[in-house]
Structure 1
Amino acid sequence: MDIVVLIGRIVFVALFLNSALGHLTQTHAMAGYARSKGVPFPEASVPLSGILMALGAASVVLGVWPDLGALLLVAFLVPTALLMHPFWKETDPATRQNEMVHFMKDLSLAGASFMLFGLFAIAGGEVGLTITAPLFDQH
């Protein structure tokens, strides 16, 4: 089962690694978009969120304190859902629906990240194919 968990971790973090790369290489354009959504300090928020995603994803996929990495992803996803996809503010039905899809996607990924946190915290080093034990190991 260790290999199944590893494959799941690899597939799971692909989105975050790709997004982190965009945040760190297209900072100006993404900051403009974040500014249009009312995100505070977009010039700082975009690269910082890119770093948060990169660290969280690398931690999960490599198995270096993967429980902490999962929490870093939650710390990125929940504010992103609330700040970038406030569908309740939209009046155009198509825009509202699109923002709701992105909001729900971010919340679902946050839920999956919480589950990964729990998996690593409960199973500890038994998950296997990790470099370190979880930081919040329950064993």
Structure 2
Amino acid sequence: MDVVALIGRILFVLLFLGSAFGHFTQSAAMAGYAASRGLPQPRLAVIGSGVLMLVGALMVLLGIWLDLGALLLVLFLVPTAVLMHPFWKETDATNKQNEMVSFQKDISLAGAALLILALYAGHGADLGLTITDPLF
């Protein structure tokens, strides 16, 4: 099961690593989108969320305080879902549907990250293939 858990961690973090890269390479465009959603300091928010994703994803991938890395991803995902994808505010049906899908994706990923946190915090040494033991 150790290899299966490692493969799952790799697959899980691919989205975050790619998105973090985009936050750093396309920060101006993303800051414009964040500004359109009413976020204060949108450029700082984009860079900060990119750092949060990158650090959390690397911690989960490498197994360095994996439970903390999963928690960092939750701390990115839930506010992002609420602040960036408020489908309930949309009046256009297509926009509403697109935002609802993005909202649900973020919330689902947050649920998966919480599950990773719980599994590794409770059974980290048994799951193996990590560099450190869980922090929590």
Q: TM-score, normalised by structure 1?
A: 0.96
Count matched residues: 136
- Corresponding residue of 2:44: 44
Runs of 4+ aligned residues of structure 1 deviating over 4 Å after TM superposition are none
2:112 alignment counterpart: 112
Structure 2 distance, partners of 1:33, 1:57, is 23
1:91 aligns with 2:79: no
Q: State how far apart, in whole Å, the 2-side matches of 1:123 and 1:95 are.
A: 42
1:29-108 alignment, distance < 5 Å: 29-108=29-108
Please list the CA deviations of residues 36-90 of structure 1 after superposition, one character each: whole Å capped at 9, or x if unmatched: 1112210100000000000000000000000000000000000000010000000
Q: Aligned-pair distance for 1:25?
A: 1.3
The separation in 2 between residues aligned to 1:39 and 1:127, in whole angstroms, is 39
5+ residue gaps, structure 2 = none
Please provide the CA RMSD for this pair.
Answer: 0.6
Unaligned runs of 5+ in 1: none
Task: Return the alpha-carbon distance in structure 1 between the equivalents of residues 45 and 23 of structure 2.
Answer: 10
State the distance in 1 between where 2:100 and 2:111 align.
16
TM-score calculated relative to the size of structure 2: 0.98
